[in-house]
Amino acid sequence: MSKSILITGGAGFIGSHVVQLFVEKYPEYQIVNLDALTYAGNLENLKSVEGAANYIFEKADIQDADALDSIFAKHNITDVIHLAAESHVDRSISDPMAFVKTNVFGTVNLLNSAKKAWAGELENHLFYHVSTDEVYGSLHDGGFFLETTPYDPQSPYSASKAASDHFVRAYANTYKMKTVVSNCSNNYGPNHFPEKLIPLCINNIKNSKPLPVYGKGENVRDWLFVKDHARAIDTVFHKGKAGETYNIGGFNEWKNIDIVKLLCKKMDEKLGREPGTSEKLITYVTDRAGHDLRYAIDATKIQKELGWEPSLQFDEGIEITIDWYLANEEWLDHVTSGSYQEYYSELYGKG
Ligand code: NAD
Ligand code: TYD
């Protein structure tokens, strides 16, 4: 195998698309998916690759330094694509320490294991850290996030991601590790855990349950189809310049309330309901504490320098997404009932 790539968080939403893309597109690479299988990790996301000859799954926590060292040695890891994280802002508000432990402490553990495993030949290996646009803070007066925008994280989640980004850059500067960081806007698509806005609304519309819109629904997010993010990660991994940062986004801003109304309209059509039926489910609820007003990525650098651009328009991507959730009732049932967490023991025969 020409490379042995450790992908962390590969059982999660974005990680599962990255693992699938790499396993299928690069049979000459060995892909080692390391995931702790928290509530957000679901091996059912990876059914299409689980028997592939170049795919290995390792259940491990990035907080466990010894486990990381032995996985680096056992699989002769040549490169890392690091996605494992606690990723939900609302959970970070109720339990910030879980975010410090995984996103900060876990990332530093991973950097240390990589540095140890690659000692004396750091220039031959890449540590790719996947991050978020939320590290730049909240836009109030127009404009876009550039790679040079100063960090200004506003939630415990974004503060923990910002800290991890800083550690990655500090290891590049101090120890001369070859690193690259990308900061992406909000993703949507298949395999998205239904605690986040779009899958939560799709699931609730399907079940005629209230659609909780925080505050007035005026907050703006910039949405990118998850497979386009996975393609961007492939591009940055292979073509990105060491030490650089790349912003990833689709120039696709939406107010939350407009997204929710769009989902209602499209799902009324698909479910054969009277127009306007699902909009009645919209319920304005207490705003999120410290709710960032607007995120918007300027993705010119990755487009110009690396030739990546999104393949899908939002209208197509949201259709694919709704259709996927409607066609994958079993996935949704397992996730909402919690039974997806038994899939690991069924597959690997241990607890
Ligand atoms: P997710 O919550 O769906 O998945 C996270 C995965 O990491 C899960 O499989 C979970 O089991 C695993 N994990 C969590 N803690 C772990 C630990 N301590 N050790 C090992 N594995 C652990 O997250 P996602 O939405 O797929 O996000 C993936 C990455 O992309 C994160 O780093 C996130 O910050 C970043 N990101 C997400 C978005 C987005 O819109 N979702 C946008 C930009 C960047
Ligand atoms: P979310 O999907 O949690 O992503 P993030 O906070 O990382 O951007 O939320 C997207 C937007 O939707 C955000 O402005 C908060 C809002 N939101 C709601 O209005 N209702 C909800 O139930 C959720 C989960 C989010």
The pLDDT tens digits of the residues spanning 295-316 come to 999 999 999 999 999 999 999 9
Selection from 260, 259, 203, 250 nearest residue 226 by Cα = 250
**Ligand 2 atom 5: residue of nearest CA:** 89
Say whether 133 is catalytic. Answer: yes
Cβ of residue 214 lying under 6 Å from some atom of ligand 2: yes
Q: Is 89 in the pocket of ligand 2 (CB under 6 A)?
A: yes
Ligand 1 mean position, distance from CA 280 (Å): 33
| Atom in ligand 2 nearest the alpha carbon of residue 292 | 14
Distance 297 CA to ligand 1 centre (A): 20
Provide the residue ranges of all domains of the chain, joining segments of one domain with +.
3-186+224-248
Least Cα distance to 295 among 142, 98, 180, 112 occurs for 142
Which pLDDT score is estimated for 1?
Answer: 67
Provide the pLDDT confidence category of residue 350 given band limits of 50, 70 and 90. Answer: low
Average pLDDT, stretch 226-232? Answer: 98
d(CA 91, CA 96): 8
pLDDT of 340 reads 84
Say if ligand 2 is within 6 A of residue 334 CB.
no
Quick check: CB of 87 below 6 Å from ligand 2?
no
Specify the residue for token string 């597109």. Answer: 25
The answer to whether residue 315 is catalytic is: no
Q: Is the pLDDT of residue 90 over 90?
A: yes
pLDDT over threshold 60, residue 287: yes
Contact (Cβ atoms closer than 8 angstroms) between residue 180 and residue 240: yes
Atom of ligand 2 at shortest range from CA of 87: 7
Query: How far is the C-alpha of 39 from the C-alpha of 13, rounded, in Å?
Result: 12
Q: What is the mean pLDDT of the chain?
A: 97
Whole-number Å distance, alpha carbon 46 to ligand 1 midpoint, is 15
Confidence band of 341 (pLDDT split at 50, 70, 90): confident
Tokens coding 273: 């309901």
Which CB contacts under 8 angstroms, 24+ apart, belong to 265-274?
266/318, 266/319, 266/322, 267/202, 267/205, 267/206, 267/322, 270/322, 270/323, 270/326, 271/205, 271/206
Paired with 127 in beta bridges are: 80, 179
What is the per-residue pLDDT for 338? 85
Whether 260 lines ligand 2, by a CB cut-off of 6 Å, is no
pLDDT (tens digit per residue) in 99-135: 999 999 999 999 999 999 999 999 999 999 999 999 9
Ligand 2 centroid from CA 261, angstroms: 14
Q: Identify the pLDDT of residue 141.
A: 78
Long-range contacts, stretch 83-86, CB < 8 angstroms, 24+ apart: 83/7, 83/8, 83/9, 83/10, 83/12, 83/14, 83/15, 83/18, 83/130, 84/8, 84/9, 84/12, 84/15, 84/34, 84/35, 84/36, 85/9, 85/160, 85/161, 85/164, 86/38, 86/40, 86/157, 86/160
Q: For residue 165, indicate whether it is catalytic.
A: no
Q: What residue ranges line ligand 1, CB within 6 angstroms? A: 8-9, 11-15, 35-38, 40-41, 61-63, 83-87, 102, 106, 130, 132, 161, 184, 186-187, 193
User: Distance from the CA of 278 to the center of ligand 1, in angstroms?
Assistant: 30
Measure CA 313 to chain center: 19
Percent of the chain with pLDDT over 90: 94
Q: What is the pLDDT of residues 157-196, one digit of tens each?
A: 999 999 999 999 999 999 999 999 999 999 999 999 999 9
- Token pair for 190: 């298949």
Q: Whose alpha carbon is nearest atom 29 of ligand 1?
A: 83
Residue 200 CA from chain centroid, whole number: 16
CATH (residue range 3-186+224-248): 3.40.50.720
Determine if the pTM surpasses 0.95.
yes
Segment 238-265 shows an average pLDDT of 97
